[in-house]
Amino acid sequence: MISFPDRLESAINQCHNPVLVGLDPRADMLPEGLLDPADAARPEKVAAAYERFCREIIDVVAHKVPAVKPQAAFFEQIGPAGTTALANIIRYAQQQGLLVILDGKRNDIGSTATAYAQGYLGRESAWGADALTVSPYLGDDSLEPFVEVAAEQRGGIFVLVKTSNPGGRMIQDLVADGKPIYRHVAEYVERLAASSEGDCEYGIVGAVVGATYPEQLAELRAVMRHTWFLVPGFGSQGGTAADVAAAFDAQGLGAIVNNSRGIIFAHSLKPYKEKFGAARWQAAVEAATCDMIEQLRTDTPAGKL
Amino acid sequence: MISFPDRLESAINQCHNPVLVGLDPRADMLPEGLLDPADAARPEKVAAAYERFCREIIDVVAHKVPAVKPQAAFFEQIGPAGTTALANIIRYAQQQGLLVILDGKRNDIGSTATAYAQGYLGRESAWGADALTVSPYLGDDSLEPFVEVAAEQRGGIFVLVKTSNPGGRMIQDLVADGKPIYRHVAEYVERLAASSEGDCEYGIVGAVVGATYPEQLAELRAVMRHTWFLVPGFGSQGGTAADVAAAFDAQGLGAIVNNSRGIIFAHSLKPYKEKFGAARWQAAVEAATCDMIEQLRTDTPAGKL
């Protein structure tokens, strides 16, 4: 199997867009008919509804976008039944040709970090994800086991660098040795990425950089030329296509832009709700996906893809 | 139900020691007879072996120590079957009178953080843990949802502040505004703890501070007087009872000290192996637990409990 960065580049080129669809199921926002309200406290019923919901979204977006990003929290929220649904969804998405980046924000040290990495990274692993998001607070020796396993298993990781939420400033924007903390993390991540290049110029270690901080996106793109960016914060968090333009390289590569609620719950957003009604929620998902693709193609270097 | 900090204090006082037994099962280190080597690649068999191993440890340490700390990574490593075993182990430990601190080092933002918190915190939740470890890189608005749910559900959280691994220095020891990053996090955690006191003087927000940094343990104890400390790094990582002495307050409260491999895999450590042989592994677990209790009672303020 070819490396994760090369597979990501190839998938983006095939789809001609860098849209990452976030799979964040929530019981109280599912389209009508997927979960009987009387079953909302029964984990197996909720898990089955999440699985059906995600499968139908995957059916809509496969071959349109390169990748999906299941959010582990919403599956774990309902207990072990939810994690079984998560594993099923990961496999199903891949069967439909999608790459899967699992958003778990895991981290730990030494052999514990290795356990997470072995469990999640690569299609032969228990969960089978192509890539995993990872948190950096524990430092370099907590990230190295993930990098090693990712290299062995043809997987990738995305390390939190500059997150999209306002509170991210608390630690990430503190200045030490003349640079904000996120910049220290960024430079370490770039070194890891540069030492693990695929055939494309990007490495197996990527960075999470929020759409809500366009200036930092530009700053980091300039100093992280071997690092794939996973860009959250588009849509419901306020990021626009213009805001994420700086995340791309001159060829329109180097970044994937996530949208979760703005796509999967499009049926509850006014323009789509009016057009499709509540029942045709899959059509709303499709329209919202196509609209986001078009916005990125119009207002960012992704138009060159 | 009374608050988590009050239940923790009560459990420590009843057991007269602050030992936290880490449940970190690994297929290649299990005592003989628990897992047929031919089944090592079958998740259901490994999960069943982990569950039996942890149940037997719980049977040995219940009523001797106040709490156990399952490490989520080792259960997740084997896939959904592992997470079912984890949920079963949490319930079983509580049935035997133990508090359960789940080591998951979770974090995320906004409603996603709420989903993790609702899934894990409190005995009514899907996983039912009494407390959860949480990572702070995403900042204050990522921690607040955990604090809110912990307050509602009578649970607690332990935020990573100064971790036991050498690489923790990479971010945690950078100096901003005249203070290392861990100190910035510590002061924020102490404010959260002080605003959520139970009947005892400690709050629902605790801190992870490694046994391998005794000076920082003393520094942080002095400025975090409302914050329970979860102290990893004792035993196989090199921390001694003398190293952790500064984690306690004058009454011998304020800290719980974790030991994972040094207790659960005592059967593979020379002194216990020679004394009990491989077959009597539960006796090795018991002896190692009693030895650690004795070391803490002799060399730390926990002797006053």
| Rounded average pLDDT over B106-127 | 97
Query: Which residues of chain B lie closer than 8 angstroms to A127, CB-CB?
Result: 76, 79
The answer to whether A123 faces chain B, any CB pair under 8 Å, is no
Bridge pairing between strands A205-209 and B179-180: unpaired
How is residue A79 written in tokens?
């207990």
> Could you give the residue ranges of the DSSP H alpha helices within chain A?
4-15, 43-61, 72-76, 80-95, 110-120, 140-153, 169-172, 181-194, 214-223, 241-244, 261-264, 270-276, 281-299
**pLDDT at position A87, please?**
98
Cβ pairs bridging A and B (under 8 Å): 204
Residues A11 and A4 sit within 8 Å (Cβ to Cβ) = no
Return the beta strands (E) in B123-221 as ranges. 131-134, 156-162, 175-176, 179-180, 205-209
User: A4-299 in CATH: which number?
Assistant: 3.20.20.70
Report chain B's mean pLDDT, rounded to a whole number.
96
Say yes or no for a CB contact (<8 Å) between A164 and B84. Answer: no
pLDDT at B161 over 80: yes
Q: What is the DSSP letter of B278?
A: T
| ipTM of the complex model | 0.97
Around Cβ B20, how many Cβ atoms within 10 Å? 28
- Residue A204 · residue A4 · CB < 8 Å: yes
Is pTM beyond 0.95 here? yes
Cα-atom radius of gyration of chain B, to the nearest Å? 18
The pair phi, psi for residue B280, each rounded to 5°, is -90, 55
Q: What is the pLDDT of residues B57-84, one digit of tens each?
A: 999 999 999 999 999 999 999 999 999 9
Torsion of CA B128, B131, B132, B136, to 10 degrees: 140
CA B244 to CA B222: how far, in whole Å?
14
- Per-residue pLDDT band for B236 (boundaries 50, 70, 90) equals confident
Listed in sequence order, the residues at least 6 apart from B206 whose beta carbon sits closer than 8 Å to its beta carbon are B131, B156, B157, B158, B159, B189, B193, B227, B228, B229, B230
8 A C-beta contact, residue B4 and residue B154: yes
Q: Which of A74, A77, A176 sits opposite B174 (nearest CB)?
A: A176
B115:A165 CB<8 A: no
Which of B108, B165, B185 comes nearest A138 by C-beta? B165
Please list the active-site residues of B: 105
Task: Identify the pLDDT of residue A220.
Answer: 98
| Beta-carbon separation of B184 and A167 below 8 A | no
CB atoms A73 and B113 under 8 Å: yes
- Asked if residues B25 and B89 have their Cβ atoms less than 8 Å apart, the reply is no
DSSP state string for B229-250: EEE--BSTTSB-HHHHGGGS-T
**Closest to B123 (Cα-Cα) out of B7, B209, B203:** B7
Q: Which residues of chain A have pLDDT under 70?
A: 198
To probe the interface with B, which of A24, A42, A112, A187 has the most B CB atoms within 10 Å?
Answer: A112
Which 37-66 residues of chain A touch chain B by CB within 8 A? 43
In chain A, domain spans = 4-299
Taking the Cβ of residue B78 and every Cβ of chain A, the question of whether any pair is shorter than 8 Å is answered with yes
Q: HSE of A28 in the Cβ direction (CA atoms, 13 Å)?
A: 2
- Give residues 242 to 271 of A whose Cβ lies within 8 Å of B: none
Question: What does CATH list as the number for B4-304?
Answer: 3.20.20.70
Contact state of B163 with A73 under an 8 Å Cβ cutoff: no
Residues 6+ apart with CB under 8 A from A75: A25, A47, A50, A82, A83, A85, A86, A89
B219: which 2 tokens? 């520094």
Interface contact B238, partner A, CB < 8 A: no
d(CA B129, CA B123): 6
* B17 CB within 8 Å of a chain A CB: no
Which chain B residues have a beta carbon less than 8 Å from that of A118?
77
pLDDT tens, position by position, A160-202: 999 999 999 999 999 999 999 999 999 999 999 999 876 789 9
Q: Name residue A21's beta-bridge partners.
A: A68, A259
Alpha carbon of A83: minimum distance to chain B alpha carbons (Å): 6
Do the chains contact at B135 and A107, CB–CB below 8 Å? yes
Closest partner residue to A109 among B113, B141, B165, by Cβ?
A: B165
Contacts of B45 in chain A (CB under 8 A): none
pLDDT of B198 over the 80 cut: no
Q: Cα A51 from chain centroid?
A: 18
Chain A stretch 192-221, residues whose beta carbon is closer than 8 A to a beta carbon of chain B: none
Chain B nearest-CA residue for A27: B115
Determine the Cα–Cα distance for residues B60 and A277; give it in Å rounded to an integer.
59
Of A45, A64, A69, A105, the active-site residue reads A105
B6 burial via Cβ count (<10 Å: 0-12, 13-18, 19+):
middle
How far apart CA B19 and CA B232 sit, in angstroms, is 11
A169: nearest CA partner in chain B: B139
Strands (E), chain B: 19-23, 67-70, 99-106, 131-134, 156-162, 175-176, 179-180, 205-209, 229-231, 255-259
For residue B222, give how far its alpha carbon lies from the nearest alpha carbon of chain A (Å): 22
Mean pLDDT of B213-220: 96
Partner A, chain B 130-189, Cβ-Cβ below 8 Å? 135-144, 160, 163-172, 174-177, 181, 184-185, 188
For B274-290, the pLDDT digits (tens) are 999 988 999 999 999 99
User: Are B58 and B96 spatial neighbours (Cβ–Cβ below 8 Å)?
Assistant: yes
Residue B169 has pLDDT above 80, yes or no: yes
Residues of A in contact with B22 (CB under 8 A): none
Q: Are A17 and A66 in contact (CB under 8 A)?
A: yes
Q: What is the CA radius of gyration of chain A?
A: 18
Interchain contact, A164 vs B109, CB within 8 Å: yes
> Which among B177, B193, B185 has a CA at the least distance from the CA of B136?
B185
Q: Give the gap in angstroms from C-alpha A102 to the nearest C-alpha of chain B.
A: 13
Partners of A140 on chain B (C-beta within 8 Å) are 167, 170
Q: How far apart are CA B182 and CA B137, in angstroms?
A: 11
For residues B102 and B134, give the distance between their C-alpha atoms in angstroms, rounded to a whole number: 10
C-alpha–C-alpha distance, residues A4 and A130, integer Å? 7
Instruction: Look at A265 and B235; give whichever has higher pLDDT.
Output: A265
Alpha carbon dihedral B194, B211, A189, B146, in 10-degree steps, equals -30
Name the closest residue on chain B to residue A87, using Cα atoms: B80
pLDDT of residue A100: 98
Q: Is B84 an interface residue toward A (CB < 8 Å)?
A: yes
Nearest Cα residue in chain B from A137: B137
